[in-house]
Structure 1
Amino acid sequence: MNATLTRHRRSIAAAAILALVTAVTLIASLVSAGDQDSLATTTPTGPMELPDEWMAAQRMSDGSTEISAATYNSARSEADKIAQRTRSVYRHLAEQDWEFFGPSNIGGRIVDIAVDPEVDDQIFIAAASGGVWKSSDAGMTYESVWPDSWVQGMGAVAMTSDGVLFAGSGEAQPGGGSITFGGNGVYRSTDRGETWEHLGLEDSHAIARFAIDPSDEDRIFAAAAGNLFTPGGERGVYLTEDGGDTWTQVLAPLNDTTGATEVVIDPDNPDRVYAAMWDHLREPHQRTYGGPGSSLWRSDDGGDTWQRMTNGLPTDDDQGRWGLALAPSNPDRLYAYVGTALGPFRAFYRSDDGGDTWTQTPVTAAQASQSTFSWWFGKIFVDPEDQNHVFLMGVNLMRSTNGANSFSSSSGVHADQHKMVWDPKVPNRVYLGNDGGMYRSDTNGVSGSWTKATYEPYTQFYSVDVAETNPVLHVGGTQDNGCNRGYNGVGGPWNSIGCGDGLQVIIHPEDPTIVFGCSQYGSCYRSENSGGTPRQNIGPGQTTSARRNWFTPLQFDPSNPDVMYYAGNIVNRSTDNGRTWTAISPDLTDGGPNDPAGYPWGTITAVAAAPTDGDKLYAGTDDGNMWWTDDLGENWNQVDADQIPGTWVTRIAVHPDDADIAYATFSGFRSGSDRPHVMVTQDGGKSWTDIGKGLPDAPVNSVIPTSDGLLVVGTDVGVFMSAWNGGEWAALGADLPMAAVMYMRYHEPSRQLTAATFGRGIYDIEVPKCRAASTKLPLRNPGSGVTGVLASCRGAQ
């Protein structure tokens, strides 16, 4: 039965919910919203904030841990079947091409680098959720060498001396504003990325590192980190002795939540191998990023047997992720650091006898630059020519010239460092990968010597908007790379327009110089200079809410561009284009908890106003509630819980011609159940019907009904189209990489659909016109779309 609330009430009875509580304290500060109107090739400031788990929270909002590589592989397989049928039945849809719009000058998280030993100035890199890329000009520009239709989450790359390239799929860094997109094992290319073959370790979820035996390059070790969300699977250190054809576990973890994150070979004595193990598990209610399995190991017989290194190292359970490195010029010199199980830096260690004994160095937490999330880094790198020249990956790039007795920052790079590698063919040339992309120094990494890559089309987007007055004008919010403006056309440079992590960014429907940008947790601004300064703050100080989501909804009312909505756990309304705000709802969630040390669970995640009725609003929450109001918030009506899935509401869209017809999309995995991902109401929110049957079992992140009877959804595994009333679903267009589509924007006059992908940037496509008998197709038979508008796309021109 529906519940009715008046907007004068400010609380509802709390219901028992599964709290998504984290074990570390959130950093409260955001990057200053200073003037950042220069090209985004300038160095952003950092740190941004504790890497959040917004995407993981969505997908686990029902308590599920089914976020495995197998789950995603199944969803991708389902997407492939839809695409195959589309090519056969709906040729016109399949022949549409997605066009990469940009950006190419922003970049995104890089987790590994391999220098080509035979080809000058050539390197290969692994983008966290964007596949494998090649640069042939010393790291300045990149082209993809990874199939668009394959898993895009990556963890490691390595290359033998004769040019055989290995790629390990699945990212080993958890969190980071995102889910850790898992992979399905190890791949090999014998032609430098032209073709690939799968080699196994399908249940490893994430490959963190390769180590190639220099005396026998058919012997390769792989550090398998394991599934972040589910214990068990293929974890620990694996060895192939036949170039990757077969793999054998040589170092098993101490428990089923521990995996290997580092493996290093002594170049002078390849029988000596080192490994770092990390005990970590992400559950719906908590994050455990340390424990008894975290440890350092050594083998003196090529991996046949292993001994845990403990002499001078901690042996208690309060160990998080270890970083481990060996000095190539003196392999007896080892460096290691570890965080606590809760995340902050704990201690730095050095060994001068190959790991027999260890001594703690005087490195402080401030010098280490790990903030409260040392598990985000876990890497140390040593100059091949100088055992005392050490780089420690942190929020800042930290550099030591005295054997890790002290560190100072090497400035001039983006925040959050992940990988360094020296080019053996060019003295003093070193490459760096971080959350901002790729950098190169030709003076051995000294402060201020870094040059950023100029073409990096692998940015992780949360959102996108285009100007209603000119759809060439794009804006979007990006993971760890702020809010950005693309007003220079296809392939043109994008400009940074503030924010920390960039989330919701929107353009005024009538004036593209008015831009709103949001950082995490609803810290937003209003600009009348296309996102530039001066900026008026919007957020906690101007709006009413106790909790705000990582991606706080900020929307225009389509019936009146001066009216806007902003929602934390309460809906706020502005009638003067975002200058002032008034609360118009009670708490629409189950109430929290609002633990300052926990994720802000209990927030509104979607708000939509009806284009044809300014008094009609719909809202959805992270804890699975949905609401509507017919009187601009005087009364709020809750959707009966039995009508909807109860999982995270990702997006709501109202029919362009009928305020009583609305669509809602949901995250999470069905896991074999009939729980829907797309639902429709035809009676203003009272009852809801599943119209998502036939879609891949993957989170649906965005939904758009067009004025001529089409319904388009963006998912973790592609973009699909049906009729207003659902039914058969078809894949829209070709050549869209298999990165999660987080947000879509449809420009009705030009039929341009824009998709924001998490790892491959922004893409546009023209939505084809289908021969609809009527642009007002009634929705009396939900699920029968195959006989409706979509069916008219068969052979359409």
Structure 2
Amino acid sequence: MRFRARYRRSITVAAIVAPVAALTLTASLISAGDQRSLATTTPTGPMELPDEWMATQRLSDGSTELSAETYASARAEAAGVELRTRNIYRHLADQEWEFFGPGNIGGRVVDIAVDPEVEDQIFIAAASGGVWRSSDAGMTYEPVWPDDWVQGMGAVAMTSDGTLFAGTGEAQPGGGSITFGGDGVYRSPDRGETWEHVGLSDSHAIARFAIDPSDEDRIFAAATGNLFTPGGERGVYLSEDGGDTWNQVLPPLNDTTGATEVLIDPSDPDRVYAAMWDHLREPHQRTYGGPGSSLWRSDDGGQTWQRMTDGLPTDDDQGRWGIALAPSDPQRLYAYVGTALGPFRAFYRSDDGGDTWEQTPVTAAQASQSTFSWWFGKIWVDPADKDHVFLAGVNLMRSTDGAMSFSSSGGVHADQHKMAWDPAVPDRVYLGNDGGVYRSDANGAGGTWTKATYEPYTQFYSVDVAETDPALHVGGTQDNGCNRGYDGVGGPWASIGCGDGLQVIIHPADPTIVFGCSQYGSCYRSENSGGTPRQSIGANQTTSSRRNWFTPLQFDPSDPEVMYYAGNIVNRSTDNGRTWEPISPDLTGGGPNDPAGYPWGTVTTVAAAPTDGDRLYAGTDDGKVWWTDDLGETWTEVDPGQLPGTWVTRIAVHPADEKIAYAAFSGFRSGSDRPHVMVTQDGGTTWTDIGRGLPDAPVNSVLPTPDGLLLVGTDVGVYVSAWNGGEWASLGEDLPMAAVLYMRYHESTRQLSVATFGRGIFDTTVPVCRGASTRLPLREPGVGVRGALSSCRAAQ
């Protein structure tokens, strides 16, 4: 029996008030109530780019937003299921989830706060993984955020007495990933040991805090607002009582604009600067710029504000702004802006506190913004040298001549989000990016960065384990590639290629054969455990005109030499992925009207029956389900009237009966009776909803076990039922409330491995439920099948 490391959060939660969830400077001073009338023109756009995979599937129910309230409701329902499980099915509730890894990969870090009193201690905000503390100068991390609260984070800040503030909800929208919203501001008086909710519940995302150094009860918060819905709490807010209450002091110019930056002049705390960003994400387009994007200054502590325009653009083609000041000379300001479509536009400098601005000769190549400047919007200035400037981009860009030119400060992961200097240690600076946390003790000079050694907050899309040894794990990660964990619990993981890592699978009989996929079906075959050499699988080897961000690649469970790969057409290989041939027509309703849009019209899941190699099921992003019982000679579409019409996330076939299959669906019910999980018992002709009793949240994975259990992974936890549904129970404790995107069940050991988007890979042992496999008749939705789970006991 292999060693298992128990992973627990060491945190107590007190004072919980939160839900369970989760031109020249304008001549006249403009009060907070007079600014909305300044924006009267139409935003630039629309933009349709091939991204937003996670958001798109969750909006496939016809919704136009992913609100904090929606997720808060789902988390509350999850808590209710957990309580019922603990009262009725103790053995299910007591199953322990154990963190498997990785610890050495990391993930997106969006903010850093250096503890002003405790040597070598910092706190970081992980994009979808909560708040973490390092007590060894940024090398290893432990959680200081409740596992069962909203995990999406945007900002952290700390006062001199150790009061820690956390702003929930990520402020920079993802590409193929998702931006999870939050439910406001939290405060901890004891460095993360206890937390309380202190307001701005409708802000959706907090991008930054600024604490007045002369009066730390005065705290500014940049509220970015809901990415999907106009309105709500947006703009700059001020608390004058240490966070107890908040008042809007800089409202946005329109209801799609929010604040992304706020900073205080350390030599004159009455002078405050802010950056505003006009942006909106809709199901099929983004508008990431417009008249609301702008820079502002206040000279009276935030009571009135002036828009800075002398030397700055005033047209509507403004995307996200970044702004920073030099602590050693606060009259020196830097700013840059992207276009509304995303590429870099221009860099500016002011030497008179923002009265006037001049454009510097920084080029797009030097700015390193690619086509998505909205992903960054940050500048940092060396506290001791006003000409030493860092610019967030794909690469970390560094200037030593006052932003006249930039070059790369190499040696770090792509996509930069935060830098923070340690005032107690000369030349020490921390960096947060999509790969985690780095530290330089040479003031950020190129080649001087050291990566953290333990940072367990990786965003996983998928997980697989070796059939020959379930201690061998692989998985695909957001912006951190495909990875292999073949060294057991807590052991180091190795990178095995890919860009964004999506589907990664291990040959059932030979764990040295590994397949890995990047976005849009660019996959490989390796006979070296994912290492080189690698054979390409993709557009030149398979047949499809469109491929999903997460292109399905699967083994046939009845023959590991047979594999399936699907774009809009299903492809089959009979020689273990070396060669491929199409076996279906286009199984979708076609692609988008705009060819630049998200590639709608793709197959999202393929499942082969373990007991019949001729029978396959397939689901699509436009809500279709198909089946064939003659290996693709003919395909039958399920009557759309029986299905919810939302994105089909996963199909799984019963291990002993090819006529029984389960389909899982994304989206929310939005007040309707739309199913999340359905079953067919006649090979696909008729389908029945068996998901009643689950929280109203996307179901991302479904697995039937051979002994009668049905497991599903959702955005708000893992749940178990009998084969035919009827009632659902939560499975285990200590699984963080990060979206579970993929599951893998190892039958002989009963190990269930799940991929969380923000907290890494977790394992548990599925209990034995004697009698659960009894073929019970399907019940009406919501009618419980008592007894099917009552015999569950821990596996021996």
TM range (shorter): over 0.9
* CA distance in 1: counterparts of 2:135 and 2:244, whole angstroms: 28
Map of 2:239 onto structure 1: 240
2 CA distance for matches of 1:716 and 1:502? 19
- Structure 1 pair 163/762, CA: closer, same or farther in 2 (3 Å)? same
Whole-Å separation in 1 of the counterparts to 2:310 and 2:622: 48
**How do 1:19-30 and structure 2 match up within 5 A?**
23=47
Which secondary structure state, in structure 2, belongs to the residue aligned with residue 73 of structure 1? helix
SS at match of 2:619: strand
Deviation at 1:600, TM superposition (A): 1.0
- Per-residue Cα deviation, 1:467-494 (whole angstroms, up to 9, x for no partner): 0111000000000000000000000000
CA distance in structure 2 between the aligned counterparts of 1:356 and 1:695, rounded to whole angstroms: 57
Counterpart Cα distance in 1 of 2:226 and 2:163: 27
Q: Which residue of 2 aligns with 1:41?
A: none
Give 1:593 deviation, angstroms: 2.1
1:405 corresponds to: 404
**Equivalences, count:** 751
1:117 partner amino acid:
P
Aligned residue type for 1:573: R
- Counterpart of 2:779 in structure 1 is 781
Name the aligned partner's letter for residue 130 of structure 1: G
1:372 is matched with: 371
Within 2, Cα distance between the matches of 1:662 and 1:626? 11
Partner of 2:132: 133
* Inter-CA distance 654–229: structure 2 relative to 1 (3 Å threshold): same
Range that drifts further, 756-765 or 59-68: 59-68
State the alpha-carbon separation in 1 of the partners of residues 616 and 66 from structure 2: 33
TM-score, with normalisation over the residues of structure 2? 0.93
SS at match of 1:790: coil
Q: Alpha-carbon deviations, 1:496-538, whole Å to 9, x = none?
A: 0000000000000111111000000000000111101111100
Q: Distance in 2 between matches of 1:664 and 1:791?
A: 25
Residues 111, 433 of structure 1: 8 Å contact kept? yes
The residue that corresponds to 1:651 in the other structure is: 650
Kept after mapping to 2: 8 A contact 1:547/1:568: yes
Query: 2:273 maps to what in 1?
Result: 274
Letter aligned with residue 591 of structure 1: G
Distance 1:500 1:795, change over 3 A: closer
Report if aligned partners of 1:22, 1:598 keep a CA contact under 8 Å in 2.
no
Which one-letter code corresponds to 2:57 in the other structure?
Q
| Map 1:66-105 → 2, pairs under 5 A | 66-105=65-104
Q: Is the 8 A contact 1:716 1:742 kept in 2?
A: yes
* Distance in 2 between residues matched to 1:652 and 1:782, nearest whole Å: 22
Taking the aligned partners of 1:517 and 1:186, their CA distance within structure 2 comes to 39
Distance, in Å, in 1 between the alignment partners of 2:764 and 2:786 is: 25
Give 1:31-430 correspondences, 5 Å limit.
52-430=51-429
For the 8 Å contact 1:260–1:277, the answer to whether it is kept is yes
1:6-64 deviation per Cα after TM superposition (whole angstroms, max 9, x unaligned): xxxxxxxxxxxxxxx982666xxxxxxxxxxxxxxxxxxxxxxxxx3110011011331
Give the aligned residue type for 1:643: Q
Cα root mean square deviation, aligned: 1.3
Q: State the secondary structure of the residue aligned to 1:635.
A: coil
Return the alpha-carbon distance in structure 1 between the equivalents of residues 169 and 175 of structure 2: 14
Task: Give the C-alpha shift of residue 267 in structure 1.
Answer: 0.5
Deviation of 1:175 (Å): 1.5
1:526 counterpart = 2:525: yes
Q: 1:622 to 1:146 in 2, by over 3 A?
A: same
Aligned-pair CA distance for 1:722: 0.8
State the shift of 1:755 in Å.
0.5
Deviation track 1:626-676 (CA, whole Å, cap 9, x = no partner) reads 111111111110111110000100000001111111000111111111101
Matches of residues 679-758 of structure 1 in structure 2 within 5 Å? 679-758=678-757
Separation (CA, whole Å) in 1 of partners of 2:625 and 2:221: 46
C-alpha separation in 2, matches of 1:170 and 1:719: 23
Q: Aligned partners of 1:461, 1:729: CA distance in 2, in Å?
A: 25
Describe the shift of the 1:779–1:558 C-alpha distance in structure 2 as closer, same or farther (beyond 3 A).
farther
Counterpart CA distance in 2 for 1:441 and 1:782 is 61
| AA of the residue aligned to 1:23 | M
Amino acid at match of 2:617: Y
Secondary structure at the counterpart of residue 83 of structure 1: helix
Indicate if the aligned counterparts of 2:767 and 2:793 stay in contact, CA closer than 8 A. no
Distance 1:145 1:224 in 2: 23
Q: Distance in 2 between matches of 1:84 and 1:510?
A: 41
Structure 2 gaps of 5+ residues are 1-44
The percent identity for this pair of structures is 83
> Does structure 2 retain, via aligned residues, the 8 Å contact 1:724–1:779?
no
Partner residue, 1:662:
661
Query: How far apart, in 2, do the equivalents of 1:428 and 1:795 lie?
Result: 53
CA offsets 1:69-116 (integer angstroms, 9 cap, x no match): 010000000000111111111000111100000000000000000000
Asked if 1:601 corresponds to 2:586, the answer is no
| Paired residues of 2:377 and 2:392 also in contact (CA < 8 A) | yes
SS in 2 for 1:306: strand
Letter in 2 for 1:389: H
The one-letter code of the counterpart of 2:348 is: Y
Q: Is the 8 A contact 1:66 1:669 kept in 2?
A: no
Measured in 2, the distance between the counterparts of 1:25 and 1:345 equals 17
Counterpart code for 1:532? G
Alignment of 1:434-453 (within 5 A): 434-453=433-452
Separation (CA, whole Å) in 2 of partners of 1:595 and 1:768: 49
Q: Contact (CA 8 Å) 2:767, 2:794: kept in 1 or not?
A: no
Distance 1:173 1:417 in 2: 12
| Structure 1 CA distance for aligned equivalents of residues 66 and 793 of structure 2 | 35
- Residue 310 of structure 2 aligns to a residue whose secondary structure is coil
**Post-superposition offset of 1:780:** 3.9
Report the Cα distance in structure 1 between the residues aligned to 2:600 and 2:368, rounded to whole angstroms: 29
**What is the rounded CA distance, in whole Å, between the counterparts of 2:190 and 2:740 in structure 1?**
30
State the partner residue of 2:568: 569
Q: How much has 1:776 moved relative to structure 2?
A: 4.6
Q: Secondary structure at the match of 1:237?
A: strand
By how many angstroms is 1:782 displaced? 5.9
Q: Is the 8 A contact 1:722 1:785 kept in 2?
A: no
Dislocated runs of 4+, deviation >4 Å: 782-785, 794-797
Q: Is the 8 A contact 2:327 2:386 kept in 1?
A: yes
Q: Distance in 2 between matches of 1:99 and 1:163?
A: 31
In 2, the alpha carbon distance for the partners of 1:472 and 1:314 equals 57
State the AA in 1 paired with 2:114. Answer: V
Contact 1:168 1:208 in 2 (8 A): yes
Q: Determine the structure 2 residue equivalent to 1:478.
A: 477
1:586 aligns with 2:585: yes
Q: Which moved more, 1:361-370 or 1:62-71?
A: 62-71
Instruction: State whether residues 92 and 796 of structure 1, in contact with CA within 8 Å, keep that contact through their aligned partners in structure 2.
Output: no
What is the aligned partner in structure 1 of residue 16 from structure 2?
A: none
Shift of 1:789: 2.1
Report the alpha carbon displacement of residue 599 of structure 1 after superposing the two structures with TM. Answer: 1.4
Q: Residue 765 of structure 1: SS of its match in structure 2?
A: strand
How many Å separate the matches in 1 of 2:600 and 2:473? 31
Query: Does the aligned pair in 2 maintain the 1:327–1:384 contact within 8 Å?
Result: yes
**CA deviation digits over 1:197-230, x for unaligned, max 9?**
0001000000000000011000000000000011
CA distance in 1, matches of 2:738, 2:284: 27
Task: Kindly indicate whether structure 1 or structure 2 has the higher relative contact order, using CA contacts under 8 Å at least 6 residues apart.
Answer: 1
- Secondary structure at 2:529 match in 1: coil
User: Counterpart of 1:775 in structure 2: which amino acid?
Assistant: S
Contact 1:723 1:785 in 2 (8 A): no
One-letter code aligned to 2:478: Q
Change (3 A) 1:124 1:603: same
Please give the alpha-carbon distance, in whole angstroms, between the structure 1 residues aligned to 2:746 and 2:120: 42
